[in-house]
Amino acid sequence: ALAAAGCGSPASNGAGQGDANSGEPIVIKFSHVTTPDSPKGQAAEKFKELAEQKTNGRVKVEVFPSGQLYGDKEELEALQAGNVQMIAPSVTKLVGLNPAFQIVDMPFLFNSREAVLKFWDGELGQKLMKSLEPHGILGLAMWENGFKQFTNSKRPLKRPEDFKGLKFRTQAGKVLEAQFKALGAGAATIPFNETYVALQQGTVDGQENTFNNIDTQRYAEVQKYLTVSNHGRLDYVVLVNKSFWEGLPEDIRKALEEALKEATEFERQLAYELDQKSFENLKKAGMEVYELTEEDKEAFRKALEPVYAEFADVIGKEFIDGARALK
């Protein structure tokens, strides 16, 4: 019966509960907002493949990419309501549950990719993930995307004063709003899957994102200028509905944990490779690129000091100092 359930279409023995004995597979709906070829999209498919293989088909994973099932805000609510079992939102989007997640948005905080990975795999990152539990959510892994860069349609952005009067799309949260305000610019939170149109129609002049998101969302069609700033991070936390996960039979949960561990290794390697590849794609697509010099960065750090003054306590000194100390 288990083998039959592994062959694809759900068994129809009438039980319908997806429990371990019914012969019907347990279904995990995995919803996300990026394209199937993004690192998150490919890793979700990898997790599906590994999870189904390691449970001999007792688990079936259904992946819904590109926000086709739920957008930014809805996916978190859907996870809590149990309408999906797994999502991998960008860390910033958890701000409503714990403002400390905005650590990833503090400008020029993380020194390197390695520092970011150490943060999430270490005590501080784990502490942040644990803070989700009272909300009925378990944070199981961090998936990488990369450092954020600025794009816009109006002019090259080389120094803080170049931002004056422009309006930028942000993912969520007050830190990003404060960042643009400190640069004399406006900000508007717009769901990821509505951002292309907002840029195209000029609702906003620019946005900040990783090379890979800029590339896979085809922003080069509607944005002329790219500033390589590496000023903030965009990474994901893989989240599951807590009561769903804890209600799984022990052996299934173990198999899924293994599948997720392997998918996470795959994802991080891929994100790292695609980051550079996407940068090349953006140059080929005709974007005009400016890379901030050390001197430019100093000017930005200075202009962005008000963000630290305002948010150091909101995020917590422990997290900010801890992140900054990592090499």
Q: Which residues bind ligand LMR (CB under 6 A)?
A: 33-34, 90, 145, 171, 192, 209, 213, 234
Closest CA to 148 of 180, 194, 126, 118: 180
Written as one letter, the residue type at 122 is G
The smaller minimum CB distance to ligand LMR, of residues 55 and 209, is found at 209
The smaller minimum CB distance to ligand LMR, of residues 59 and 180, is found at 180
CA pair distance 264, 142, nearest whole angstrom:
8
User: Which single residue brings its beta carbon nearest to ligand LMR?
Assistant: 90
CA pair distance 15, 163, nearest whole angstrom:
60
* Extended beta strands in the chain, E state: 26-31, 59-64, 86-87, 137-147, 149-152, 167-170, 186-189, 206-209, 225-228, 233-241, 288-291
The smaller minimum CB distance to ligand LMR, of residues 22 and 153, is found at 153
CA distances from 316 to 96, 144, 153, 309 (A): 16, 23, 35, 12
CA pair distance 158, 231, nearest whole angstrom:
13
Name every residue whose Cβ is closer than 8 Å to that of residue 206 and which is 6 or more positions away in sequence: 150, 151, 152, 153, 154, 157, 166, 167, 168, 169, 199, 223
Rg (CA), the chain: 21
The smaller minimum CB distance to ligand LMR, of residues 33 and 51, is found at 33
CA pair distance 74, 72, nearest whole angstrom:
6
Q: How many CB atoms lie within 10 A of CB 146?
A: 24
Name every residue whose Cβ is closer than 8 Å to that of residue 280 and which is 6 or more positions away in sequence: none
The smaller minimum CB distance to ligand LMR, of residues 41 and 57, is found at 41
The smaller minimum CB distance to ligand LMR, of residues 54 and 169, is found at 169
* Maximal CA-CA distance, the chain: 68
The smaller minimum CB distance to ligand LMR, of residues 34 and 179, is found at 34
Rounded least distance, CB 192 to ligand LMR, Å:
3
The smaller minimum CB distance to ligand LMR, of residues 85 and 209, is found at 209
Rounded least distance, CB 37 to ligand LMR, Å:
13
Rounded least distance, CB 324 to ligand LMR, Å:
23
Rounded least distance, CB 171 to ligand LMR, Å:
4
Rounded least distance, CB 231 to ligand LMR, Å:
14
